[in-house]
């Protein structure tokens, strides 16, 4: 259709005329029959009466492209040389995607840039990906060299689709801008027996590979097996067990201690198993969720090796209680959940919830204190879970008995401005020991700072606070009670810079629990120069090997049934790129 019709409309009463949309005047279309209609009169009317609109019409009818000359057309069809800057840049971007064999991707590239020829798999494997790996590793190496102290997480994983074990090493540190950094360093094949000697040898080789001497190792978080403990002890580096693993053992003992709870969990697993193995049942459940205007969510199955998966399973069932009740009224389920078991599931979830709220070393002592407070309370609402709570309490006391005497935990707790007043220490003697040890650490940092000839760094500009936790703990009330009940003991008069810094720091009010402790140290780095240095060391420490679990999940996505013959070095390279690609942003 001609562009002139943007300004005219056929007269409804007489199709031989068109009405001007600007001046509403009727213009003849050149004849009375359809075969005689032309647009010349309409264009002439625009030119004579509406020059501005005529100019717009003229521009709209101009050809937008011109025909390519022969040499230009041929050039557009030529394939780019692989070593051309444009081709190399495109190859790098594809390597970052690791999607070059996807047929849809090949079709997309042919459409977007016909001149670009996607290199072969061999080219990516032997050139593009190793180059990308080196680029990322160089950046990580520079960042690690600038870190005075680094914390590590390590674990061993065995594949279910290939005869292969991997030893992981993940680094965590706080940089000069007081920003917490994470980097996956290794997912290395572990060929021999898992002896302490071989673990030690492998770990030392990994650290040497990144130029990290043992003096810079703040702590290594490991699992609680005897070989891992001995390996770190023989390395002469600080190490602690995974808190999540200890929590798993506590929860496992608690859940098995009461038959009513274990029976309820067994029924829950049977129901989830039914939906997992029946697509038809799951489809009907989703329809019911939509009919009830609920969020369409899948039920979560628990995993024996992850204690919090039992909590997530219970929470998912409780969220879908209405939908499951409707489904059970229509169809038969392999197990029934009567009202008392629904109530028991709700109470069990409430008891387990606080166990998942420990993220860093600074959280350990406060979290254990709060757990003790919550588990020791007894009321009428505990009917059905009293034995479980008592068993959980005993397990917590047994497995975390020495938490207050471990420097990693008690110094980190004092250096976290949310917990610094020491109210979460059960024993006063442990609190006094922690303060004495903290003064020693700050004094060492003060000596290093004074001996250094480097000028003091400028104060970091305050940033907007970032919440450290997304939501309040289920036992926040207990936190507040402890803060109110226990006030700091009298402090001696400071005689040194280290004591002065600590006394001033501890005399300030604690920041809210949801605040970010690193943000506090950004804002107070110049006020507490040496203490801030110690804080960046101790607050870098994780308390669990969750990062290793995430790393091994990434490995499982690479090493699957279809790619179970990948060489270990290729797996390590792919996982390293996947986990650290953000450093190129």
Digit-coded pLDDT (tens) for 478-496: 666 666 665 444 333 333 6
* Of 60-69, 323-332, 464-473, highest mean pLDDT: 323-332
Residue where the block lists tokens 């279910």: 160
- The reported pLDDT for the residue numbered 96 is 60
Q: What is this structure's pTM?
A: 0.70
- The reported pLDDT for the residue numbered 540 is 93
More confident residue, 493 or 10: 10
pLDDT of 57 above 50: yes
pLDDT of 468 above 50: no
Q: Determine the 3-state secondary structure of 8 from DSSP.
A: strand
Picking from 182, 181, 155, the residue whose alpha carbon sits closest to that of residue 168 is 155
- The reported pLDDT for the residue numbered 218 is 95
**Range in 287-296, 489-498, 503-512 with the lowest mean pLDDT:** 489-498
Averaged pLDDT for residues 71-76:
50
Confidence of residue 410 (pLDDT cuts 50, 70, 90): very high
**Range in 87-101, 151-165, 408-422, 529-543 with the lowest mean pLDDT:** 87-101
**Range in 100-109, 224-233, 420-429 with the lowest mean pLDDT:** 100-109
Digit-coded pLDDT (tens) for 342-362: 998 998 888 888 777 666 788
Let me know: does 435 contact 535? Beta carbons within 8 Å.
no
Averaged pLDDT for residues 140-155:
94
More confident residue, 279 or 305: 279
Cα R_g (the chain), whole angstroms: 34
**Domain spanning 132-242+545-584: CATH 3.30.530.20:** no
Close Cβ partners of 495 (under 8 Å, ≥ 6 residues apart):
none
- Domain segments of the chain as ranges: 3-60, 132-242+545-584, 267-356, 361-538
Let me know: does 245 contact 411? Beta carbons within 8 Å.
no
Confidence of residue 458 (pLDDT cuts 50, 70, 90): very low
Close Cβ partners of 585 (under 8 Å, ≥ 6 residues apart):
none
pLDDT of 200 above 50: yes
Q: Determine the 3-state secondary structure of 90 from DSSP.
A: helix
- The reported pLDDT for the residue numbered 249 is 83
Confidence of residue 64 (pLDDT cuts 50, 70, 90): low
CA dihedral 102, 108, 112, 114 (to 10 degrees): 70
């Amino acid at each position: 259709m001609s562009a002139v019709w943007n300004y005219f409309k056929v007269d409804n009463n007489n199709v031989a005329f068109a009405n001007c949309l600007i001046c509403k005047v009727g213009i003849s279309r050149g004849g009375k029959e359809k075969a005689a209609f032309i647009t010349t009169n309409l264009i002439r009317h625009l030119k004579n009466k509406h020059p501005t609109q005529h100019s717009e019409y003229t521009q709209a009818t101009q050809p937008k492209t011109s025909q390519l000359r022969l040499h230009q057309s041929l050039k557009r069809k030529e394939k780019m040389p692989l070593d051309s800057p444009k081709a190399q840049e495109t190859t790098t971007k594809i390597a970052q995607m690791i999607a070059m064999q996807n047929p849809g991707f090949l079709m997309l590239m042919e459409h977007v840039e016909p001149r670009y020829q996607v290199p072969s798999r061999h080219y990516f494997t032997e050139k593009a990906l190793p180059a990308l790996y080196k680029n990322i590793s160089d950046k990580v190496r520079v960042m690690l060299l600038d870190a005075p102290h680094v914390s590590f997480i390590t674990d061993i994983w065995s594949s279910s689709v290939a005869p292969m074990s991997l030893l992981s090493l993940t680094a965590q540190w706080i940089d000069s801008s007081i920003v917490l950094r994470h980097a996956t360093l290794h997912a290395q094949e572990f060929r021999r027996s898992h002896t302490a000697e071989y673990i030690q040898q492998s770990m030392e080789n990994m650290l040497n590979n990144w130029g990290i001497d043992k003096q810079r190792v703040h702590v290594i978080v490991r699992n609680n097996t005897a070989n891992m403990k001995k390996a770190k002890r023989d390395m002469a580096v600080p190490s602690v067990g995974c808190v999540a693993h200890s929590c798993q053992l506590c929860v496992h003992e608690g859940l098995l201690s009461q038959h009513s709870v274990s029976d309820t969990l067994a029924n829950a697993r049977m129901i989830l198993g039914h939906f997992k193995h029946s697509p038809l049942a799951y489809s009907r459940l989703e329809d019911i969720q939509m009919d009830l205007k609920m969020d369409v969510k899948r039920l979560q199955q628990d995993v024996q090796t992850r204690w919090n998966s039992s909590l997530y399973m219970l929470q998912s069932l409780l969220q879908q209680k209405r939908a499951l009740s409707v489904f059970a009224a229509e169809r038969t389920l392999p197990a029934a959940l009567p009202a008392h078991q629904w109530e028991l599931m709700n109470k069990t979830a409430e008891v387990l919830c606080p166990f998942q709220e420990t993220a860093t070393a600074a959280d350990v002592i406060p979290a254990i204190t709060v757990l003790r407070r919550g588990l020791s309370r007894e009321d009428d609402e505990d009917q059905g879970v009293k034995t479980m709570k008592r068993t959980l309490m005993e397990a917590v006391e047994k497995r975390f008995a020495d938490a207050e005497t471990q420097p990693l935990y008690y110094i980190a707790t004092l250096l976290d401005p949310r917990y610094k007043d020491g109210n979460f220490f059960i024993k006063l003697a442990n609190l006094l020991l922690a303060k004495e040890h903290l003064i020693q650490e700050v004094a060492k940092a003060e000596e290093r700072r004074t001996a250094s000839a480097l000028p003091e760094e400028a104060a970091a500009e305050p940033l907007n606070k970032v919440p450290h936790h997304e939501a309040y703990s289920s036992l926040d009330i207990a936190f507040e009670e402890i803060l109110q009940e226990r006030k700091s003991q009298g402090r001696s008069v400071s005689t040194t810079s280290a004591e002065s810094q600590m006394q001033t720091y501890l005399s300030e009010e604690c920041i809210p629990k949801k605040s970010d402790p690193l943000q506090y140290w950004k804002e107070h780095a110049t006020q507490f120069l040496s203490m801030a240095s110690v804080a960046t060391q101790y607050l870098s420490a994780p308390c669990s090997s969750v990062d290793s679990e995430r790393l091994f999940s990434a490995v499982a996505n690479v090493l699957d049934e279809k790619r179970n013959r990948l060489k270990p070095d290729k797996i390590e390279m792919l996982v390293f790129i996947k986990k650290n690609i953000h450093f190129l942003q």
